[in-house]
Structure 1
Amino acid sequence: MAEHTLARQLADFAADTSYESLPDEVTASVRKRVVDVLGLCVAAHRLPTSAAIVAQVREQGGRPQATVVGGGHTLVPAPLAALANGVLAHSLDYDDTHLPSVLHPSASVVPAALAAAETAGADGRATIRAIAVGLEVCVRLGMAGYDQESGNSTFFEHGQHATSICGALGGAVAAGLLLGLSSDGLVDVLGVAASMAGGIIEANRTGGTVKRLHCGLAAQSAVTAAQLVGRGFTGPPTVLEGRFGFFEAFLHGAYDPAAVTGGLGTEWAVPGIFFKPYPANHFTHTAADAAMALRAQGLDPARVERLVLGVPAPVIRTIGQPIERKRAPETGYQAQFSGPYLVAAGLLGGGGGLGLGLDDFTDALARDPARRELMAKVEVVADETATGIFPAQFPAVLTAHDTDGREWREEVLSNRGGPGRPLSDGELALKFRDNVSGRLSDAAVDLVMERGLRLGELDRIQDLLRPVAELNPVAGGHHD
């Protein structure tokens, strides 16, 4: 039985995949995601939680193995580097998303892989291969928990953060490859990491910054699991489908095994993972698009009397409930999970090169009287068309009634950043430059972009990470 378990099939896929066998679109996608994650890690240093995690990691001491972005040139143990960088990557809610599983694969897998690669002295090709495989494993485990009938993630229904749960296992496979584990070792690494996976998402609804920890804890668990297996720890071969295994524990046994193994090695999910154009919960993006479209058509925010935001029914609890809190976020972080705020930001803001940027999500703007006045006019309701499309996309239908009695309506049925509306290489470069503005020198910016986009040619991952180890001090307020 152990020969044909799901863990064995994933492990064999990982071990048998070479850099040379990866499709060009997969390697290109991985290179872009690495650059995107590094930009997010730099940008996150505006947050006090980022200072907290870097200080926490630096105080632990230990063997110098891997780089913390913005943590200085002194290396830290690999699991701690993965922890810090995973926290940084996910903290701005600007990291990529896979649909319809609704998880953020890169924020766990990339930090885990970079830390393991730096520790092992791996080159760029080995790192790309490991990240590609880790992302694929992460997504496939997430899709195993996607309920086709309800059109929603069972992880999500149970209050679980699939991102960190599946990310721990995907990251562990990536780290295991870079640390030289065989296929047998990768079976064990899945078995060990499954006992380290966790994360609950109540903070999406009612606040708290704990969600920022999730991808860091997943990445830390991933590297730790790989290291422990290298020292002799083992896991159950039936860790995924077993009676007391991963799918029973997290999904109560309701999972799709074909999502794990169907087309494995020939059909890649990696290139279709959505890049985020805006630093906010992905459910809110089309609300901002619709609001910006109405503004472009001439809607005057000062003359708005009522706004109705129609969204998929399952997302209301995240971006529209409790409505009193969503209409009055106290922090920029809370604003990132508020449908009413994204409508107001779309009607009033637009500071970023992609439409909305980091400067649209500050504590001051969350409490801005003009935005509060608009947010108070927003109802968040279920829209039948949007619900029918979800979660392949996160649509929104925004209807505005103005003081002249005119009705304005805008439908946005697909998200920017995915296969249907991809961000161009120029837009991704703009996002990266915006994220690192003022924190990296122009020379460092160019160096990271150039080395990241030719990652497969690098002999050492440390050459990519060295330019982001030290950041320029930037004056300014925090989002929290």
Structure 2
Amino acid sequence: MSEPTLGAQLAAFAVRSAKDGVPADVAASVHQRTLDVLGLCVAAHRLPTSAAAIAHVLDQGGHEQATIVGSPTRVTAAQAAFANGVLAHSLDYDDTHLPSVLHPSASVVPAALAAAEHAGASGELTVRAIAVGLEVAVRLGMAGYDQELGNSVFFEHGQHATSITGAMGSAVAAALAYGLDEQGVLDALGLTASMASGIIEANRTGGTVKRLHCGLAAQAGVNAAQLVRRGFTGPPTVLEGRFGFFQAWLHGQFFPDAVTDGLGSDWSVPGIFFKPYPANHFTHTTVDAGRAFRERGITPDQVAKVVVGVAGSTVRTIGEPIEVKRTPETGYQAQFSGPFAFATGLLGGGGLGAALDDYSDALATDPARRELMAKVDVVADERCNEIYPFQFPAVVTLTTTTGEVLVEEVLTNRGGPARPLSDEELATKFSDNVTGRLSDTAAAAVRRDVLDLQGAGDVARVLSPLAAPLAAPLAAMSTLIPAEESK
């Protein structure tokens, strides 16, 4: 008897997990990620692209099936998945899996919540569906990660792996929420492979389209599951087939063992990195180094020179051209600046050490920060090269005005398995994201119920505090999109 196809193995794993449950640490991680995503959805209402996406959805009309965060008007499940997926990814503050450099939760969580609300699925099933969807997205992403190359083949081809594999994970999550069997899950993968998409040219030359990617992925997954319920089918060899997913996207250069090795026993979900700071992930360890110097008593007037050493592959994103990185004009540009990251850490920020309001247009052009950034260089560091892309390390060397040379090495990212964020720290991030937009009572209810989602009988009730117009404080962050890579 021939071995089941890769898609069939994923479908069997998915249905088995939905029935038998997932490990406790995986379920706990799902609770945290769901809260993180919902907080990001609230915070993203500050962006005009968020208003545009929601207005687009509301203009379509349709049955009232699911909730858009921040909107009292319920929409179809697929529309809700789209809108919330756009919101979740738009601030570049969503979680990251390494070394695939995927942002899986921003598509899978919105898809699962929308389908679960529509189907009346229990919180317990929803948690399991999210867990499996995340696992599928990550494993498909890792199937495209070339260890010798040290990079994702998706990215080498200009493809946004987040939305491509995120669509597939969203389909599995939605299929489970709708109660599909193994064949149904396989068919949902088969349909979604014809919808999965995303190119990253906007990261290079600008444009707001990237903010749509996770919304389109979530919507594709929900649509596929619904179409399977109505009788549509997909190819059983959708992944490894001659004209399948891996051939189409990766030109046949894929690693099937990443899909199946340890499937059901070795879970990737708890190891996905949370972002503690709302900026390009490459800059986070530089923020931490700045914070460490601050804790050592270093003040800006004592700084003569700073050299930020990072992996060579990241220099072009956060350090080139250095004149631009030292003088960001907007808060959004500051999110991609190594010099600004160091200044933020040394001067001290809000939230967990750097919050949304720390990346404002005003602070990007603040004279004190400009003076400090002018002293910062960003260079390739061999030790960081050896660690990347499993972490985004930084080795920061500071020379004081008295000639003393000080070094801070931050070789692991905060928010990952080596330096995890606690429930309390994630609650702080959530609070920072929703303060001024969600009442204290509503925020407390969402935090309580989401962190106990597995015990909820009604997903709609959990989301109900978010189904109302949000307060609209003045946006601090810039809405401009730089011609930079976003991680």
- TM-score computed with the length of structure 1 as normaliser: 0.95
2:71 maps to what in 1? 71
From the superposition, tell whether residues 291 and 441 of structure 1 become closer, same or farther in structure 2 (CA, over 3 Å): same
1:399 maps to what in 2? 397
Return the offset for 1:209. Answer: 2.8
Secondary structure of the structure 2 residue equivalent to 1:4: coil
Note the 1:17-166 alignment, pairs <5 A.
17-18=17-18, 20-72=20-72, 74-166=73-165
Note the 1:145-224 alignment, pairs <5 A.
145-224=144-223
C-alpha contact 1:440 1:471 (8 A) present in aligned 2: no
1:355 is aligned with what amino acid? G
Return the offset for 1:205. Answer: 4.1
C-alpha contact 1:47 1:478 (8 A) present in aligned 2: no
Secondary structure of the structure 1 residue equivalent to 2:193: helix
For residues 34-82 of structure 1, the C-alpha deviation after alignment (integer angstroms, 9 at most, x for no partner) is 111111111111222211211111111111111000012x211111111
Quote the Cα distance in structure 2 between the aligned partners of 1:181 and 1:132: 16
For residues 124-178 of structure 1, the C-alpha deviation after alignment (integer angstroms, 9 at most, x for no partner) is 0110111011000001011111111232222222222211111000001101111
Note the 1:43-442 alignment, pairs <5 A.
43-72=43-72, 74-352=73-351, 354-442=352-440
C-alpha contact 1:120 1:179 (8 A) present in aligned 2: yes
Return the offset for 1:400. Answer: 2.2
Secondary structure of the structure 1 residue equivalent to 2:194: helix
2:74 is aligned with what amino acid? L
Quote the Cα distance in structure 2 between the aligned partners of 1:18 and 1:177: 7
Quote the Cα distance in structure 2 between the aligned partners of 1:193 and 1:365: 43
1:268 is aligned with what amino acid? W
Return the offset for 1:256. Answer: 1.0
1:13 is aligned with what amino acid? F
C-alpha contact 1:349 1:360 (8 A) present in aligned 2: no
2:484 maps to what in 1? none
Return the offset for 1:2. Answer: 8.4
1:11 maps to what in 2? 11
Of 433, 450, 471, the match for 1:452: 450
C-alpha contact 2:67 2:80 (8 A) present in aligned 1: yes
From the superposition, tell whether residues 440 and 18 of structure 1 become closer, same or farther in structure 2 (CA, over 3 Å): same
Secondary structure of the structure 2 residue equivalent to 1:438: coil
Return the offset for 1:227. Answer: 1.5
Secondary structure of the structure 1 residue equivalent to 2:309: strand
Quote the Cα distance in structure 2 between the aligned partners of 1:102 and 1:337: 16
2:437 is aligned with what amino acid? R
Quote the Cα distance in structure 1 between the aligned partners of 2:158 and 2:371: 32
- TM-score computed with the length of structure 2 as normaliser: 0.94
For residues 215-249 of structure 1, the C-alpha deviation after alignment (integer angstroms, 9 at most, x for no partner) is 11111111111112222222222221122222122
C-alpha contact 1:37 1:107 (8 A) present in aligned 2: yes
C-alpha contact 1:329 1:335 (8 A) present in aligned 2: yes
From the superposition, tell whether residues 199 and 478 of structure 1 become closer, same or farther in structure 2 (CA, over 3 Å): farther
Return the offset for 1:3. Answer: 6.0
1:244 is aligned with what amino acid? F
1:467 maps to what in 2? 465
From the superposition, tell whether residues 198 and 369 of structure 1 become closer, same or farther in structure 2 (CA, over 3 Å): farther
Return the offset for 1:19. Answer: 5.2
C-alpha contact 2:68 2:84 (8 A) present in aligned 1: yes
Secondary structure of the structure 1 residue equivalent to 2:413: coil
Aligned length: 478
Quote the Cα distance in structure 1 between the aligned partners of 2:187 and 2:123: 25
Return the offset for 1:471. Answer: 4.1
From the superposition, tell whether residues 452 and 313 of structure 1 become closer, same or farther in structure 2 (CA, over 3 Å): same
C-alpha contact 2:21 2:128 (8 A) present in aligned 1: no
From the superposition, tell whether residues 160 and 229 of structure 1 become closer, same or farther in structure 2 (CA, over 3 Å): same
Secondary structure of the structure 1 residue equivalent to 2:406: strand
From the superposition, tell whether residues 373 and 252 of structure 1 become closer, same or farther in structure 2 (CA, over 3 Å): farther
Quote the Cα distance in structure 2 between the aligned partners of 1:208 and 1:255: 30
1:33 is aligned with what amino acid? R
2:59 is aligned with what amino acid? E
Return the offset for 1:100. Answer: 1.5
From the superposition, tell whether residues 478 and 79 of structure 1 become closer, same or farther in structure 2 (CA, over 3 Å): farther
2:70 is aligned with what amino acid? G
Quote the Cα distance in structure 2 between the aligned partners of 1:207 and 1:347: 30
For residues 291-331 of structure 1, the C-alpha deviation after alignment (integer angstroms, 9 at most, x for no partner) is 11112223222343332211112222322234444333332
Identity %: 67
From the superposition, tell whether residues 322 and 202 of structure 1 become closer, same or farther in structure 2 (CA, over 3 Å): farther
Structure 2 residues without counterparts, runs of 5 or longer: 480-487
Quote the Cα distance in structure 2 between the aligned partners of 1:2 and 1:445: 52
